[in-house]
Amino acid sequence: MRLLSLLLISLSVLVSSRPADACSPPMCWPGAFLPADATTIPSNAPGLYWRPSRAGIAPSTLSTVRLTTTMAPTTALSFTATPLAGGDYVIVPDAPLVEGTSYVLEDLATCGGTAGPRVTFTAGPSAPLPTSLGTMWTDPHGTRLDLEIATSAGSCSMTVDAETFGIGVTPSTGATPWMALLLFETVVDGQPWQIQESINYEPGPGESWKGRGRDLLFRICTPDTAASYTGMSSGGHAVAFRASLPGGQPLSTPALNVELMCDPEPDPFPDPAPLPEDDGGCSSTTPTSWAVILFAFAALRRRRRR
């Protein structure tokens, strides 16, 4: 028995002394294109969007980007690339897109040993440039749950107790043909709402951590200093979506006032509800204590013994 106890103690020490899983940064942040793969955009699109890969041994450059058609995959089409403030680019083909033609946009550089992005899109009918974005849709009510968000406290992500609220864009008629090319952004009180589920993953161009044209607001109900994001504070907040075409001016939905409240969690062991009082009917609904029940049971046993 003593030997078994020593073995168990040694095993517990080894298990408890194992290092916690650490979050290692990626060797390379991959690039991305907009429009996404297998989408259709108007043939009069003002431009395409490219986010180069970052870091890595050989990050992507303009020389690694190629635009072709599916009918002539070996013939590169010329384009002009305009740099943006954040390091991304707007790519404008030198010749207009041809309706009904499928194009391939790819980055031939590798990122951490993985091939760069490659998308195939189709040029559809031309459409007027949008003058309005649309309106917001919202969840009918919030949901309290364990939410996974990024943390820099050693692991890539962590869970927090949060009240959540889903939102999204219902596009206007004019914005509908451009949905695959619009760069969306959520704005809370005039500031970008940019959340990551993990510090090792960032959303693609024009999308949130929950997708394109949709997002998830939250308020942390049990504060945790290890979380990378504090979420929304108490009180009302003006929430809206902004979106723009590559190189274009932003459009916005009407702002919506959103207030998230952390209601107390239900008691898993609530007190039993009291029974209704006697209303003068035939049956009594007066609560009976356990002491009375035990006394009656004991009296019945004594009568049977007699």
pLDDT in tens, 110-166: 887 889 999 999 999 999 999 999 999 999 888 999 999 999 888 999 999 999 999
Asked if 167 and 137 touch (Cβ cutoff 8 Å), the reply is yes
Provide the pLDDT for residue 155: 92
Q: Where are the domains of the chain?
A: 28-124, 134-258
Provide the pLDDT for residue 141: 83
Provide the pLDDT for residue 80: 97
pLDDT in tens, 226-261: 999 999 999 999 999 999 999 999 999 999 999 999
Pairs from 187-193 (Cβ < 8 Å, separation ≥ 24): 187/239, 187/240, 187/241, 187/242, 187/252, 188/217, 188/232, 188/237, 188/238, 188/239, 189/237, 189/238, 190/238, 193/217, 193/239
What pTM was computed for the model? Answer: 0.78
From residue 275, give the alpha-carbon distance in Å to each of 280, 289, 291. Answer: 15, 12, 17
pLDDT in tens, 195-225: 999 999 999 999 999 999 999 999 999 999 9
Provide the pLDDT for residue 164: 97
Q: What is the mean pLDDT of residues 81-104?
A: 96
How much of the chain is helix, strand and coil, in % rounded to 5? 10, 35, 50
pLDDT in tens, 170-194: 999 999 999 999 999 999 999 999 9
Provide the pLDDT for residue 17: 34
- Secondary structure (3-state) at 80: strand
Q: What is the mean pLDDT of residues 86-91?
A: 94
Q: Check if 28-124 and 134-258 are the same fold.
A: yes
Q: What is the mean pLDDT of residues 56-67?
A: 85
User: How many whole angstroms separate alpha carbon 62 and alpha carbon 76?
Assistant: 13
Provide the pLDDT for residue 113: 82
Pick the CATH number of 28-124 from 1.20.120.160, 1.10.1060.10, 2.60.40.3710, 3.40.50.2300: 2.60.40.3710
Provide the pLDDT for residue 57: 64
Longest Cα pair distance anywhere in the chain, in angstroms? 110
The average confidence (pLDDT) of the chain is 85
Pick the CATH number of 134-258 from 1.20.1050, 3.30.565, 2.60.40, 2.40.10: 2.60.40
Q: Please enumerate in sequence order all residues whose Cβ is within 8 A of that of 300, keeping only pairs 6 or more positions apart, or say none.
A: none
**pLDDT(267) > 80:** no
**pLDDT(76) > 70:** yes
In a 13 Å sphere around the CA of 289, the CA atoms on its Cβ side amount to 3
